[in-house]
Amino acid sequence: MAVDYHLEGQAAVVTGSTSGIGQAMAAALTAQGVSVVLNGFGEAARIEADRAAMQARAAAGAKVLYHGADMTRPAEIAELIAFATSELGRLDILVNNAGIQHVAPVDEFPDEKWAAILAINLSSVFHATKHALPIMKAQGRGRVVNIASAHGLVASPFKSAYVAAKHGVVGFTKSCALEVARQGITVNAICPGYVKTPLVEMQIGDQAKARGIAPERVVEEVILAAQPNKAFVEYDQLAGLLLYLVSDLGASTTGAALSIDGGWTAA
Ligand code: NAD
């Protein structure tokens, strides 16, 4: 049975959508007729080629634009939201996805990495939401979806900044959801386990070489050690949850931290 999400004509911002999960989420929205402002870093020509390719695959009427705001800079985040609203005439959906990682013991963790992870993975969620909410309140409807992580619910060693930021995103999600619950706006966090983004694919090859074992063993024994089903989360599975949340089907789901992690956080 094909589900019709009735999203045609809506407008979205997806932060960190020049790669991986954000790019897949933006593509899923544009395929449903949602106009999207892409954001993120990368080589200008590649960003433009990816934008044009997404535009070509978008449903009729959906525009695909790009804004290069740096998520560590609050003023640029404000500009991103203002750009989306002026170019698209409205803002219905905000997907806070931009994120980075750094792995090191706490007592060796570089101060600048801590600051960057907190700024991009946590504070940018606050700044973007702060500027999006007045527009959503005026429209009487809105959807904020924060891409947190299984690490928003449980911890792993050597990822203190990432785990702190993602737990912060889950807390922010709950507080914000309570504030706007009567205004037609939902705020939720998606908490994925491992997703095979380009970053993770690279790690598989590197680890296989370093350990002298087959890539399949790296996946099962190293990368997916904490994920009971031993399978990566797929982009389509994340897109399905996103489309549920942003459509009217998700109207009663708010303040939730939704696991999509093959059982990781059940353990
Ligand atoms: P990715 O590296 O493929 O994409 C990250 C995106 O963020 C890129 O578009 C990058 O340009 C952008 N970005 C980084 N710094 C930025 C900045 N200062 N300003 C603007 N954009 C910036 O990573 P991904 O794996 O797709 O991760 C996306 C989100 O999903 C992150 O928040 C990550 O924590 C989360 N997540 C990923 C996984 C996984 O297994 N890949 C699992 C759980 C959660």
Distance 71 CA to ligand 1 centre (A): 11
For residue 169, is pLDDT > 70? Answer: yes
Distance 152 CA to ligand 1 centre (A): 15
Distance 15 CA to ligand 1 centre (A): 9
Give the confidence band of 199 by pLDDT, cuts at 50, 70, 90.
Answer: confident
Percent of the chain with pLDDT over 90: 91
- Supply the pTM of this predicted model: 0.97
- SS3 string, the chain, reads CCCCCCCCCCEEEECCCCCHHHHHHHHHHHHCCCEEEEECCCCHHHHHHHHHHHHHHCCCCCCEEEECCCCCCHHHHHHHHHHHHHHHCCCCEEEECCCCCCCCCHHHCCHHHHHHHHHHHHHHHHHHHHHHHHHHHHHCCEEEEEECCHHHCCCCCCCHHHHHHHHHHHHHHHHHHHHHCCCCEEEEEEEECCECCHHHHHHHHHHHHHHCCCHHHHHHHHHCCCCCCCCCECHHHHHHHHHHHHCHHHCCCCCCEEEECCCHHHC
Q: Give per-residue pLDDT as tens, 207-250.
A: 889 899 999 999 999 899 999 999 999 999 999 999 999 999 99
Ligand 1 neighbours by CB, cut-off 6 Å = 16-22, 39-42, 70-72, 97-100, 120-121, 147, 149, 192, 194-195, 197-200
**Annotated catalytic sites, by residue?**
162
- The rounded distance, in Å, linking the Cα atoms of 230 and 161 is 26
Cβ–Cβ < 8 Å for 183, 137: yes
- The rounded distance, in Å, linking the Cα atoms of 110 and 78 is 28
Probe target for ligand 1 pocket from 41, 80, 146, 163, with the most ligand atoms within 8 Å of CB: 41
Probe target for ligand 1 pocket from 197, 223, 261, with the most ligand atoms within 8 Å of CB: 197
Q: Give per-residue pLDDT as tens, 127-164.
A: 999 999 999 999 999 999 999 999 999 999 999 999 99
